[in-house]
């Protein structure tokens, strides 16, 4: 070997080492920063992670299983323990779970539903009934564009390695990026981080902000404080989980609370019943989700169809519902209604499931909502869970 070749090898070796050390040092510092900030999947989508971790336990449940899958409207509106209790009163033994998650549009829900499907297939267990919420405003182009900065991060948190590998085979550049985010960046993409920093420097202005009456805000604060203290007294063993197994992914139920606490709840939710709060919430939904225009994103519609197909593989019965809408506050334009009808027909054709439209049921009054879309606890959710029992009890045998 000539001396120039050995010299060049030495320099090349140093170059290679420098590449590894510089990149390695930068990655290490980045991971330390994320650690200090608590930026990880558990903190970003804790409820989803906890629900996914509960799957091995769920598949071992001896009773018939029911899963209600959907958005934060399901999270707020469906009480699994009330559902089970009311069915028990009809001599039907069921274990239901709330799989409603805020911040997940159907693209992400598709990946989560695959993880649920995989767990059930792996354990050769079936679900008696899966109810899936089709949420029109979660399926809009506006909603999809709003998720631009989190797509890669959420994908790496939810997709399996095999799914990422499939992406890599079709698009090596994107595949390499996703594996990089998953294994080097602790699931945090640069886009997610910079949009987080950007929001700190430049908070997104609200579309409009109507001031609520001062006395209502004060009462809300006082009632909120009362409810927090009472919660800590009533549930000393609560583990601070976002998806709490003993509650089957749902929330607390009125039967466990004292009359005084229920009175505070009433007071608390009464403070939301003013036109300023409702209009602010409506405007936020228009800006962030096109809730009245409903310009659908084809990718999200396809993803929703995938969700239904995924559950059809492991469930005896799959139903799709469109949950109640606060009629009077949220009003579709004629064109929006036409678009919705078209998408509903598309989903029904692709899945063979008839969508149950609960949007305009008269029993759901404005006082059952705490904002533009979510039910109040112990009132709206109770009524909606009752409706769910009435609608689907026939699937369960005594």
The C-alpha atoms of residue 87 and residue 70 are separated, in whole angstroms, by 21
Distance separating the N- and C-terminal Cα atoms of the chain? 85
Question: And the tokens for 249?
Answer: 């992914």
- Are 104 and 301 contacting, i.e. CB atoms less than 8 angstroms apart? no
CB of 27 to other proteins, least distance (A): 7
Restricting to residues 164-183, name those near other proteins by CB under 8 A: 172-173, 175-177, 179-180
**8 Å CB contact between 132 and 312:** no
Q: What angle do CA 367, 368, 370 make, to 5 degrees?
A: 85
Closest approach of other proteins to the CB of residue 19, in Å: 7
CA distances (Å), 268 to each of 32, 251, 257, 380, in order?
Answer: 41, 17, 15, 14
Question: Considering the complex, what minimum distance in angstroms separates the CB of residue 197 from other proteins?
Answer: 7
Distance CA 297, CA 151 (A): 15
**Closer residue to other proteins in complex, CB, 162/201:** 201
Candidates 40, 118, 191, 242; binder of other proteins (CB under 8 A) is 191
Q: CA-CA distance, 300 to 201, in Å (whole number)?
A: 31
Residue number, 10 or 366, with CB nearest to other proteins: 10
Q: From CA 225, how far away is CA 268, in angstroms rounded?
A: 10
202 binds other proteins (CB under 8 A): yes
- The residue range among 7-15, 230-238, 335-343, 374-382 that interacts with other proteins, by the rule CB under 8 A, is 7-15
Applying the rule CB under 8 A, the residues between 114 and 173 that interact with other proteins are 148-149, 151-152, 172-173
Single out the residue of 185, 278, 285, 325 in contact with other proteins (rule: CB under 8 A).
Answer: 185
Give residues 285-304 in contact with other proteins (rule: CB under 8 A).
Answer: none
Binding segment for other proteins (CB under 8 A), chosen from 55-63, 156-164, 196-204, 243-251, is: 196-204
User: DSSP 3-state assignment of 186?
Assistant: coil
Least separation in angstroms between CB 279 and other proteins: 21
In the complex, least distance from residue 89 CB atom to other proteins, rounded to whole angstroms: 52
List the interface residues with other proteins, window 27-66 (CB under 8 A). 27, 29-30, 33
Is the Cβ–Cβ distance between 59 and 120 less than 8 Å? yes
Number of neighbours of residue 183 by Cβ within 10 angstroms: 12
Reading the block at residue 159, the tokens are 């997709």
What are the residues binding other proteins (CB under 8 A)? Answer: 4-5, 7-9, 11-12, 14-16, 18-19, 21-23, 25-27, 29-30, 33, 148-149, 151-152, 172-173, 175-177, 179-180, 185, 189-191, 193-194, 197, 201-202
């Amino acid at each position: 070997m000539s001396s120039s070749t050995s010299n060049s090898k030495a320099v090349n070796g140093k170059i290679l080492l420098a590449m590894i050390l510089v990149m390695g040092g930068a990655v290490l510092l980045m991971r330390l920063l994320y650690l200090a900030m608590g930026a990880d999947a558990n903190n970003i989508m804790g409820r989803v992670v906890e629900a996914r971790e509960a799957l091995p336990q769920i598949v071992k449940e001896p009773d018939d299983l029911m899963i209600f899958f959907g958005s934060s409207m399901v999270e707020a509106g469906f009480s699994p323990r009330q559902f089970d209790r009311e069915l028990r009163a009809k001599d039907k033994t069921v274990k239901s779970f709330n799989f409603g998650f805020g911040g997940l549009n159907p693209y992400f829900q598709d990946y989560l539903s695959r993880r649920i499907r995989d767990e059930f297939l792996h354990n050769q267990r079936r679900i008696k009934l899966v109810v899936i919420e089709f949420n029109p405003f979660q399926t809009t182009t506006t909603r999809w564009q709003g998720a631009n900065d989190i797509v890669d991060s959420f994908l790496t948190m939810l997709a399996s390695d095999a799914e990422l590998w499939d992406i890599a085979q079709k698009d090596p550049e994107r595949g390499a990026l996703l594996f990089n985010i998953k294994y080097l960046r602790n699931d945090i993409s640069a886009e997610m981080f910079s949009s987080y920093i950007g929001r700190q420097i430049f908070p997104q202005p609200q579309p409009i902000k109507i001031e609520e009456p001062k006395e209502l805000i004060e009462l809300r604060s006082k009632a909120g404080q009362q409810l927090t203290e009472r919660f800590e007294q009533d549930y000393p063993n609560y583990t601070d989980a976002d998806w709490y197994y003993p509650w089957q992914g749902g929330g607390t139920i009125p039967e466990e609370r004292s009359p005084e606490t229920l009175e505070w709840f009433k007071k608390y939710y009464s403070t939301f019943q003013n036109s300023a709060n409702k209009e602010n919430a409506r405007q936020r939904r228009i800006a962030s989700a096109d809730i009245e225009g409903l310009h659908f994103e084809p990718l999200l519609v396809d993803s929703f169809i995938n969700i239904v197909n995924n559950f059809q593989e492991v469930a005896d019965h799959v139903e799709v519902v469109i949950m109640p809408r606060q009629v009077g506050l949220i009003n579709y334009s004629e064109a929006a209604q036409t678009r919705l009808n078209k998408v509903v027909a598309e989903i029904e054709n692709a899945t063979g499931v008839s969508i149950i439209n609960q949007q305009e049921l008269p029993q759901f009054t404005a006082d059952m909502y705490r904002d533009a879309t979510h039910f109040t606890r112990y009132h709206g959710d109770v009524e909606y869970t009752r409706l769910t029992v009435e609608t689907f009890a026939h699937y369960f045998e005594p």
